[in-house]
Amino acid sequence: MLKHILVTDSTLRDGNHAVAHQLSAKQIALYAEAADKAGVPIVEVGHGNGLGASSMQVGLALEDDVTMLETARKHLTKSKLGIHVIPGFATIKRDLIRALDIGVDVVRVASHCTEADITQRHLGFVRERGKEAYGVLMMSHMASASVLVEEAQKMELYGAEGIIIMDSAGAYLPSDVEEKITALVNGLKVPVGFHAHNNLGMAIANSMTAIASGAKLLDATARGFGAGAGNAQIEVLAAVLERTGYITGIDFYGILDASDLAEKEVMPIVPTIKSESIVSGLSGVFSGFAKHVTRISKEYHVDQRDVYRELGKRKVVGGQEDIIIEVVMDLVKNRK
């Protein structure tokens, strides 16, 4: 029996975190064209925190949403154009309508793992417009399997055609993935997906555990280009999936070429698992904080590892970047 897996390439969205949201229109065009040629099913594009997120708090993007989406749309002829949407950052009237008019095909509406209620209007609107709508539960390591099922069921009720849980901090081990994906598969009627981060070096293993546990949707990026220590590498994932008998529709040589191009033209450095990334994963801290923590810690001569541990204790989540400076200042005070 054929085993199909739907892969979303988040290089041009999650990868934007790794460069402080400074991907250029030229870089977006180059990679979108390469991913399209490789037959990637969905190419996700935008600010690291999604549609409408460019701001002083979470980071100003080099290009505005319209420029990024119009550029990608021109270069995606086979691949679907996807976006990440967090209600609060993105409004329906200002942002979502405009994005759909540009030609976005797939909208993934995201919330913190215990706040699915905020996705109802956005998911409903996308379905009304006849576009594909998925629900995303971020920082999913912060909730039990039973709570994730409850929140995912809300998104399913709101019209989500699939639910993706994100290991936003790269905190999961395969046993965690098996427990939560299995619970979601058993508790939902729609397909389940997994978005891995590599802080503990488990991104590919966790992704494969997810599909072994019943997931049908996976996320990945070229060379793992993404927040913190990066994501599951799409070229490695494609190889492992092919070897284990799964079908993605992705041309293997094509995705190798796309990843080679990304390393040369899109990313200043290839993601590695640095010491602070490991501490971030162990502490359960959002990978998108990495650039902010590095910059502020250096400015005040504070050990990044201490910052991550304290952020983990406070259970800080994406959108609370302002607390990083608060934590750093507390560490400075305690040092005196």
Q: Would you say residue 133 has pLDDT above 60?
A: yes
pLDDT at 336: 62
The DSSP result for 150-183, as a single string, is HHHHHHHHHT-S-EEEE-TTS---HHHHHHHHHH
**pLDDT averaged over every residue in the chain:** 96
Joined together, the tokens standing for residue 207 give 């992704």
pLDDT digits (tens, 9 = 90+) for 97-112: 999 999 999 999 999 9
pLDDT digits (tens, 9 = 90+) for 311-327: 999 998 877 888 999 99
Joined together, the tokens standing for residue 282 give 């162990």
Beta bridge partners of 112: 138
Q: How far apart are CA 173 and CA 209, in angstroms?
A: 10
Q: What share of the chain in percent tops pLDDT 70? A: 99
pLDDT at 104: 98
pLDDT at 317: 85
H or E element that contains 192: strand 192-195
Joined together, the tokens standing for residue 144 give 């039990």
> How many alpha carbons fall within 13 Å on the CB side of residue 182?
9
| Angle between the N-to-C axes of helices 252-265 and 25-37, in degrees from 0 to 180, rounded to the nearest 10 | 170
Is position 17 annotated as part of the catalytic site? yes
pLDDT at 271: 94
pLDDT band at 147 (very low <50, low <70, confident <90, very high): very high
Q: E strands, 62-140, where?
A: 80-85, 106-112, 132-138
Beta bridge partners of 132: 106
Q: How far is CA 51 from CA 59, 63, 69, 87, 166, in A?
A: 13, 12, 10, 9, 17
Which candidate in 17, 21, 75, 112 is catalytic?
17
pLDDT band at 334 (very low <50, low <70, confident <90, very high): confident
pLDDT at 255: 98
Q: Would you say residue 331 has pLDDT above 70?
A: yes
Average pLDDT for 61-81: 98
**CA dihedral for 286, 315, 210, 160, sign (positive or negative):** negative
- 235/58: higher pLDDT: 235
Average pLDDT for 267-293: 91
Q: How far apart are CA 47 and CA 61, in angstroms?
A: 6
pLDDT at 39: 98
pLDDT band at 1 (very low <50, low <70, confident <90, very high): low
Supply the DSSP symbol for 95: I
Average pLDDT for 87-96: 96
pLDDT at 60: 97
pLDDT at 335: 78
Spatial CB neighbours of 31, under 8 Å, sequence gap ≥ 6:
11, 12, 222, 258, 261, 262, 265, 266
Average pLDDT for 240-264: 97
Spatial CB neighbours of 241, under 8 Å, sequence gap ≥ 6:
5, 211, 247, 248
pLDDT digits (tens, 9 = 90+) for 37-52: 999 999 999 999 999 9
